[in-house]
Amino acid sequence: MAKQVQKSKQTVRRLRIITQVFFLFLFLYLFVKTDYSGEPNINTAVRFFLEIDPLVALVTILEYKGFPPDLSRLFLLSGALLITTVILGRFFCGWICPLGTINHVVGFRKKISQASIKKSIYSGQQRLKYLFLFLLLILSVFSLQLAGIFDPISLLIRSLAFTVLPAFHFTAEVISIFFLNHELPVLTSISEFLYQILRDNVLPFKVQYFTQNIFIGLLFAMVILLNRLRPRFWCRFICPLGALLAVSSSYSRVQRQVSQACTECNICHSFCQGAPAKNGAKEWNPQECFLCFNCQSVCPEDAVSFHFRKQKMEQVSSILPARRALLQSAGAALLAVPLFYTQPSRLRAHPNLIRPPGSRPESEFLNRCVRCGECMKVCPTNGLQPTFLEAGPEGIWSPHFIMTIGYCEYSCTLCGQVCPTDAIRTLVEKEKTGLKIGLAFIDVARCLPFAFNTPCIVCEEHCPTPKKAIIFEEREITTFKGERKIIKFPKVDPHLCIGCGICENKCPVVDKPAIYITSIGESRAEDNQLILSDESAGAGY
């Protein structure tokens, strides 16, 4: 009988491991599918993990001061997860979260020692994540969306997209080219076979380059390496989503029970991931438990078991910070609000802050954007890049175009299709081609016809608008050799230019293009316009 019970407990643990592996591979599969494949549309399923994220939904509600009607799928899926958490506890952290699974693998230790036991005992510092969550929620109330920077799903997607995948892609290409150039028997064939599999199933159609990739990569490496200090360090001490789920699981129906057979050997502590136990095996905080069932499966006395409560708990062990700490966190948030709102970026749009087509007005865009990086990953030209301080500190890692890296493809609407919070609206092609994201300007001191009397029509050739936004004025000039010649001088029609940036990207003056795009004239901002309306002009403006 005892063997059957132990076998049953091991089965539950194996089921948890299988589930973790399944969801990790599902996440990676959807991550890989969030890519330009030559088709105009992407399946909305790629947003699944962000749409089941209750933290994303909650901060969106707080910033919108209600339920945005265009995000019903987000609220439905995340709400279902939150309700399930209230019943079962933090099963998402232990069974589904892809970052949690990675942390679990890196932080897992087979060796039983006093040090490993000590590292798995509950620490009061685990309350820090609740203070952090409280801080982020208060900032959200004041329309400062910083939760996306620390949300584990956004963090993982952003880190993989900006650092891991480009580095892996570059390495795969270098190795493949090496074997091709050296034509080594067998090895070259194997290399080409493996590279073709990667090309068909994993790698983007070209290597992508992102600004701040080293910085973002180092932050991700720190999150992973902290597991060597404490297993699942991020999940225990920092993760705001984990804190939200912990609060929701306070009255979970799942109860851990320890029988009289317990000998206080503390082996269960050694393999514990969430550190919910305090001083002994019997003291347990349900809010901190990931339901990994390691304690149940490793107990030599079969003393640990999990059951559904038949009735409500009489009392829940509170692990929330003291009222003073919560007030201090609220005070810090309130002090931060005026500092963020008095940034110069609030006064006037940065000229290089060229948002993707379909982006909402800047304040609403920043309120909704969770910095997941999906739009940047899917951009076919690699032109969408993470900002640093162009949009102020509250806009860090939100998307903007750097046209010298890549331009906005004329008919592409992929960025809006993958945005989980509709910060970038989903557009149809006809609507997208009529939107302006900026305006082109010509630097006559660098433009070849103006500065060097050299014929050049590259910008006009690449202009994608049906009626060219770049036109020519023919003039007769005298060359440096004294010859008379007719040269075409380019001009930009501000009514036709949509700011796509292909002219800047293709300009033959490669170090600093002679034609460049700024954000002025963008369709989403009435106060960032260069050309006044006819009515305004007639009124004396």
Same domain for 390 and 255?
A: no
Same domain for 516 and 379?
A: yes
Q: Which of 287, 308, 329 is the last residue of a domain?
A: 308
Same domain for 96 and 179?
A: no
Same domain for 153 and 171?
A: no
As beta bridge partners, residue 491 has: 471
Long-range CB pairs of 107-110 (<8 Å, 24+ gap) are: 107/227, 107/228, 107/230, 107/231, 107/232, 107/233, 107/273, 108/231, 109/231, 109/270, 109/271
Same domain for 123 and 224?
A: yes
Q: Which amino acid is at 60?
A: T
112: DSSP letter: -
Q: Which of 181, 207, 233 is the last residue of a domain?
A: 207
Contact 355, 437 (CB under 8 A): yes
348: DSSP letter: S
Angle ∠(345,366,516) on CA atoms, nearest 5: 55
Model pLDDT, residue 6: 60
Angle ∠(378,383,389) on CA atoms, nearest 5: 105
Same domain for 152 and 167?
A: no
Contact 129, 152 (CB under 8 A): no
Residue range 220-272, pLDDT digits in tens: 999 999 998 888 999 999 999 999 999 998 888 888 888 788 877 777 777 88
Q: Which two tokens stand for residue 342?
A: 């008095």
Structural domain includes residue 11: yes
The pTM score is 0.90
Same domain for 388 and 251?
A: no
Structural domain includes residue 492: yes
Cα distances (angstroms) measured from residue 194 to each of 29, 175, 187, 256, 300: 18, 11, 11, 47, 45
Same domain for 83 and 193?
A: no
What are the per-10-residue average pLDDT scores of the chain (541 residues)? 61 89 95 85 82 92 84 90 92 94 85 68 85 92 90 95 95 90 85 89 89 95 92 93 92 82 78 76 77 83 79 53 81 86 81 94 92 94 93 92 96 92 91 93 95 93 94 87 88 94 95 95 89 46 28
Structural domain includes residue 317: no
Q: Could you write out the DSSP letters of every residue in 53-65?
A: -HHHHHHHHHHHT
Structural domain includes residue 314: no
The closest alpha carbon to 365, from 407, 320, 399, 415, belongs to 399
Q: Which amino acid is at 478?
A: T
Structural domain includes residue 213: no
Contact 472, 489 (CB under 8 A): yes
Q: Which amino acid is at 61?
A: I
Same domain for 194 and 56?
A: no
Same domain for 154 and 180?
A: no
Block residue for tokens 């069974």: 95
Domain with 52, as residue range(s), is: 2-158+220-308
Same domain for 189 and 244?
A: no
Number of domains making up the chain: 3
Same domain for 130 and 225?
A: yes
